[in-house]
């Protein structure tokens, strides 16, 4: 069973779907691997690393013509055209945007397994690419904030005077938010956090941060561990009650997302105007419209004296580790998809496993 690893071509994307160490493990399990030359170069993995692992280095057409194509981002029309009829595609299919990708895949009977649809259950934790990549985003967001904030993060006491710790507010306590809290605390920040879901309070406190408690009149817990969308009345009350807490912050990191919906506005322009000169907002929801309406996707801008960071691909900024995490996710998924038969590896029935059943996209779902 042949796996092809093409180079990612999306602008700004430096990750690769399979790293050399994972390539070796897959080869040991009976897979064959064809890696496009220079596919891992942007992430720090050289052709010689893949060759030493036993993978075959090929051109783009050969990598895309494999039985299984492993990617990080969804394929473009040219990649789909180069894939063989009936192939299996593993990657982020990004199904919230209906741009014709799925129709093109189905027209060639290509079966897409969407990494973003891996269910968040205990058995699937090792395959959960959304979590592994969000972890990196939460960490890197704090590093970006610290680099742009022109003051110390921790309390500093010297013979020349002292500096108070930065007041950091994290909005949204999912995987990215929790990592942001942990990283900001390690840097010595005075960290506060807010989430709609009451069950996150204990997680916030366990990391040494202070929870922000607001009574907005609605329960915020949704399905699958995500927050649900609030009513317009609750959104307005949330903004009003948050305003004073946010205006006191020196650094705000927003991570609030609702699957396949525009990001909720949490940091209004009025709040930004009230923040101290030199403060920083890192908006992890920039790709979905932003938790602050002043955020500009893929740009760093300064408005009302506050720096707004709108990067949309933090994992790619740490491409080596991000690729390693993602490759482990893909390999763990592959391990439950195949079984050893008389003629080598064969696919199991994807519908019989709750993980592959959830990840597989069909014309019916």
Strand 300-303, strand 280-283: pairing: unpaired
At 97 the pLDDT is: 77
Per-residue pLDDT at 150 exceeds 80? yes
At 161 the pLDDT is: 86
For residue 125, indicate whether it is catalytic. Answer: yes
For residue 120, indicate whether it is catalytic. Answer: yes
Q: Which of 111, 120, 186, 201 is catalytic?
A: 120
Q: Which of 49, 50, 117, 131 is catalytic?
A: 131
At 226 the pLDDT is: 54
Per-residue pLDDT at 224 exceeds 90? no
Q: How far is CA 22 from CA 18, 60, 134, 188, 334, in A?
A: 6, 20, 21, 36, 11
Q: Which of 10, 226, 321, 353 is catalytic?
A: 226
Q: Which of 103, 125, 206, 335 is catalytic?
A: 125
Kindly report, residue by residue over 246-294, the tens digit of the pLDDT: 999 999 999 998 888 889 899 999 999 999 999 999 999 999 999 999 9
At 215 the pLDDT is: 80
Per-residue pLDDT at 120 exceeds 60? yes
Predicted structure pTM score:
0.93
Which phi and psi (to 5°) does residue 94 adopt? 55, 60
Alpha helices in the chain (DSSP H): 20-28, 47-53, 60-64, 77-82, 101-107, 129-148, 175-186, 201-206, 232-247, 269-274, 314-317, 319-337, 354-359
Report residue 342 as tokens: 């008389």
At 235 the pLDDT is: 80
Cα 253 to Cα 145: distance, rounded to the nearest angstrom? 8
pLDDT higher at 185 or 197 = 185
Kindly report, residue by residue over 38-96, the tens digit of the pLDDT: 999 999 999 999 999 999 999 999 999 999 999 999 999 999 999 999 999 999 999 88
Cα 130 to Cα 120: distance, rounded to the nearest angstrom? 9
For residue 226, indicate whether it is catalytic. Answer: yes
13-27: average pLDDT? 98
For residue 276, indicate whether it is catalytic. Answer: no
Taken in order of first residue, the domains within the chain and their CATH numbers are 2-117+318-359 (3.40.50.720), 137-316 (3.40.50.720)
What integer best gives the mean pLDDT of the chain?
94
CA-nearest of 133, 132, 202 to 173 is: 202
Per-residue pLDDT at 180 exceeds 80? yes
Per-residue pLDDT at 225 exceeds 60? no
Q: Which of 128, 190, 195, 283 is catalytic?
A: 128
Kindly report, residue by residue over 330-347, the tens digit of the pLDDT: 999 999 999 998 888 999
């Amino acid at each position: 069973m042949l796996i092809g690893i093409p180079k990612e071509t999306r602008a700004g994307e430096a990750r690769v779907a399979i790293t050399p160490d994972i390539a070796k493990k897959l080869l040991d399990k009976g897979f064959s691997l064809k890696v496009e030359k220079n596919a891992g170069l942007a992430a720090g993995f050289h052709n010689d690393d893949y060759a030493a692992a036993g993978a075959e280095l090929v051109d783009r057409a050969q990598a895309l013509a494999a039985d299984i194509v492993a990617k990080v981002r969804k394929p473009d029309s040219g990649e789909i055209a180069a894939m063989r009829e009936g192939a299996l595609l593993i990657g982020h299919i990004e199904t919230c945007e209906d741009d014709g990708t799925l129709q093109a895949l189905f027209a060639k009977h290509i079966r897409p397994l969407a990494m973003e649809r891996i269910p968040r259950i205990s058995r699937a934790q090792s395959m959960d690419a959304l979590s592994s990549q969000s972890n990196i985003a939460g960490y890197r967001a704090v590093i970006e904030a610290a680099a742009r904030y022109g003051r110390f993060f921790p309390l500093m006491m010297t013979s020349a005077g002292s500096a108070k710790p930065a007041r950091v507010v994290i909005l949204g306590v999912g995987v990215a938010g929790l990592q942001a809290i942990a990283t900001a605390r390690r840097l010595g920040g005075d960290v506060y956090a807010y989430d709609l879901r009451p069950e996150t309070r204990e997680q916030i406190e366990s990391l040494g941060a202070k929870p922000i408690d607001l009574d907005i009149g609605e329960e915020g817990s949704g399905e699958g561990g995500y927050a649900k969308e609030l009513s317009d009345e609750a959104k307005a009350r949330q903004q009003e009650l948050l305003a004073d807490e946010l205006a006191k912050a020196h650094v705000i990191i927003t991570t609030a997302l609702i699957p396949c919906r525009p990001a909720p506005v949490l940091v209004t322009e009025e709040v930004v105007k009230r923040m101290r000169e030199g403060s920083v907002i890192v908006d992890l929801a920039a790709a979905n419209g932003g938790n602050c309406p002043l955020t500009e996707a893929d740009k760093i801008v300064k408005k009302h004296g506050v720096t707004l960071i709108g990067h949309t691909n933090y994992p790619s900024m740490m491409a080596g580790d991000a690729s390693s995490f993602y490759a482990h996710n893909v390999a763990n998924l592959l391990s439950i998809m195949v079984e050893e038969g008389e003629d080598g590896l064969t696919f199991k029935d994807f519908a019989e496993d709750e993980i592959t059943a959830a990840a597989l996209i069909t014309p019916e779902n």
